[in-house]
């Protein structure tokens, strides 16, 4: 929810969703930008089928395309000015015995390096690449990004509550070295209710929670 809500979609014409799952991020971006065309790729057959069904039942189906495949092996035919991904987030941690869980939640430094290599090949000169990872992976991701000529434009540090800082971090990368905008975002107040900033950011996507 947060990644999709934060992604700046205006002005972009063609987007790529790497590891689309059920297509939530693509649907959010299609809702935000009435002109954008989005390609989504998902490795798992069931997930890609559900993604396709969600696209087909949405108001933006004519602008959404899903491919089943491994984005590490897929041959992309066009350049994209917006790329986004919610990748597996347990970096080099103890894997699960279930392969489907490993695919969805576990990653290695090598797989993140390959992800940035793919983005480097498919992004347009002025394009942006958004992703969300655990805060503990911050320096590792920044190092991998720089090795692939990507530099942070936006850095959004996510806190569960004021007393529970640094749980996730959202990056917006591009191919120019600049001083990034860095800011903090709190999901819930100390009493457990959604913060005002969270409600304002996400109200267009799940207003019924408020």
Q: How far apart are CA 201 and CA 210, in angstroms?
A: 12
| Domains by residue range for the chain, with CATH | 2-153 (3.40.50.150)
Q: How far apart are CA 197 and CA 57, in angstroms?
A: 30
Predicted confidence at residue 208, as pLDDT, reads 60
Is-contact 192 201, C-beta < 8 A? Answer: no
H or E segment to which residue 25 belongs: helix 24-32
Predicted confidence at residue 93, as pLDDT, reads 47
Predicted confidence at residue 38, as pLDDT, reads 98
Predicted confidence at residue 111, as pLDDT, reads 85
Predicted confidence at residue 105, as pLDDT, reads 45
Predicted confidence at residue 109, as pLDDT, reads 80
Tell me, rounded to whole angstroms, the distance of Cα 6 from its chain centroid. 10
**DSSP conformational letter for 208:** G
Residues 108-138: b if buried by 16+ CB within 10 A, e if exposed: eeeebebbbebbeebbbeebbbbbbbbeebb
Predicted confidence at residue 94, as pLDDT, reads 42
Tell me the mean pLDDT per 10 residues along the chain, length 210.
Answer: 96 97 97 97 95 97 96 93 86 47 55 93 97 93 96 98 95 96 97 95 76
**What pTM does this model have?**
0.89
* Residue that the structure tokens 């640094």 belong to: 166
Q: How far apart are CA 4 and CA 193, in angstroms?
A: 21
């Amino acid at each position: 929810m947060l990644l999709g809500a934060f992604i700046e979609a205006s002005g972009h014409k063609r987007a790529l969703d790497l590891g689309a799952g059920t297509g939530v991020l693509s649907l959010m971006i299609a809702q935000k930008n009435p002109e954008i065309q989005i390609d989504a790729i998902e490795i798992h057959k069931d997930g890609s089928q559900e993604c396709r069904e969600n696209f087909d039942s949405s108001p933006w189906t004519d602008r959404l395309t899903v491919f089943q495949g491994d984005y590490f092996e897929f041959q992309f035919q066009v350049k994209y000015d917006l790329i986004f991904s919610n990748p597996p987030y347990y970096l080099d941690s103890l894997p699960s015995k279930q392969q489907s869980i490993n695919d969805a939640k576990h990653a290695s430094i090598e797989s993140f390096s390959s992800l940035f290599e793919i983005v480097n090949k498919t992004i347009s000169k002025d394009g942006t690449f958004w992703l969300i990872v655990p805060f503990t992976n911050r320096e590792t991701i920044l190092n991998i990004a720089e090795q692939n000529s990507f530099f942070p434009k936006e850095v959004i540090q996510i806190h569960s509550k004021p007393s529970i800082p640094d749980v996730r971090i959202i990056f917006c990368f591009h191919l120019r070295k600049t001083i990034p905008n860095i800011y903090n975002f709190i999901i819930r107040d100390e009493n457990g209710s959604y913060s005002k900033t969270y409600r304002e950011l996400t109200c267009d996507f799940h207003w019924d929670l408020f």
